[in-house]
Amino acid sequence: MNEIEKTEDCCGHGGEGCSDMEKKARDDKGLGMGVIFFIVAFAVCFLSGWLVFPKLLYSSKEQPFNFDHALHVSEMDGCDSCHYLREDGTYNGIPTLESCMECHDVEPLGETEDEAIFCEKYVATETEVPWLVYSRQPDCVFFSHAAHLNGKNPMDCVSCHGHIGESEKCKPYEENRITGYSRDIWGKNIWGIKKNPWDRMKMDDCAECHLEETGHQGACFQCHK
């Protein structure tokens, strides 16, 4: 006869022959196990959610080769030498190979391994560099750089993109396995908590800034056409 059957024999038929104390002791013991299971399960799931889940959710990819933003910013005098608004108000985004080749050629400009990769693999073969774009928004989002860079109070690049212009190394590109978009949109913090405005690029972040600057968080159709 196992433990459970014994319990039923003793208390299952109206508790004949069992004292109140014994009953209470057994109840407490059952509750105790439940609490232990609760705590263990809670701890495992809570910690997994915080520590393991992010690692499972994002894959890490390296850029085709390292790009030294700091060097280029100093050489080219600012972000807008390569990332600029066209005359018609559209934004060029990541420069094309043709833009890069305005300075670079098949012969490397520098001696770094990255420069060699760029020249051999892309310039020589006239292949566009498949850059992984940290700030690419989902296709359902329309964002106008012109609206944010022109006008009375133009924003600076750092407000949204952070200090990427000062970086010498490209950080790994973390891709969300479910959505296919960059981790930088949601933010490094898995709970979405940010310290700086550029830590996240979600809709709430846009709305927060719009509310602050314009007094209204904006309407749906402004970004979702």
Partner 1 sequence: MKVDRRSFLGLGLGAAAGVALSPVGAKLTDDSSIWTQTWFLTPVPEDGEITFEPSVCSLCPGKCGINVRKITNRPVKVDGLEGYPVNDGGICLHGISAIQYLYDPSRVKTPMKRNGDTFESISWETAISEIKQKLGDIRKSGSASKLACVSGDDKGSVAQLFQRFLSAFGSNNFYTMPNLESALALTAQTMHGEDATIAYDLENAGMILSFGAGLIEGWGSPVSCFKANASKKDRGSKLYQIEARLSNTAANADKWIPVKPGTEADLALGICAVILKEKMFNAEYAQYFGGNFNKFAAMVQNKYSVANVSQTTGVPEAEIAKLANLFVKFNKSKSVAICGRGKANDAVSLKEFAAVHALNCLVGNINQKGGAWILPQNEYLQFPDVVTDDAADKGLSAKQISTSATGFFSKIKATSKPDIEALFVVNANPCHNLHDAKYITDVVKQVPFVVSFSSFMDETAKQADLILPSHTCLEMMQDLPSGSGVTRQVVGLSKPVVDPVFDTKNPGDAIIELAKSFEGSIAESFPWDDLEGCLSEVASDIWDTLSEDGHVVVSDKAPGSLPSVDFSFLAENPATAALAGDNNEYPLILIPIDNMRVAPGAQASSAFAVKTVADTVIKGKDGFIEINPATAKNMGIKDGSEVKVTTPSGSVVVRATYFHGIMPGYIGMVQGLGHDMNNMYVADKGVNVNELITPVFETGSGLDAAFGSVAKISKA
220 is a site residue for partner 1 (CB under 8 A)? no
Which of 19, 125, 130, 140 is the binder for partner 1 (CB under 8 A)? 140
Kind of pairing between the strands at 173-176 and 58-61: antiparallel
Hey, which residues between 44 and 103 contact partner 1 (CB under 8 A)?
44-50, 53, 57, 86, 88, 90, 96
211 is a site residue for partner 1 (CB under 8 A)? no
CA distance 212 to 60: 35
Sole window of 62-70, 73-81, 135-143, 158-166 interacting with partner 1 (rule: CB under 8 A): 135-143
Smallest gap from Cβ 73 to partner 1, in A, equals 23
x/- map, 176-205, partner 1, by CB under 8 A: x-xxxx----x---xxx-------------
Which is closer to partner 1, CB of 13 or CB of 86? 86
In sequence order, what are the residues at sequence separation of 6 or more whose Cβ sits closer than 8 angstroms to the Cβ of residue 197? 159, 160, 205, 209
Could you tell me which of 67, 94, 70, 97 has the C-alpha nearest to residue 82? 94
139 is a site residue for partner 1 (CB under 8 A)? yes
4 is a site residue for partner 1 (CB under 8 A)? yes
Which is closer to partner 1, CB of 57 or CB of 223? 57
Interface with partner 1 (CB under 8 A): 3-4, 29-31, 33-50, 53, 57, 86, 88, 90, 96, 138-140, 176, 178-181, 186, 190-192
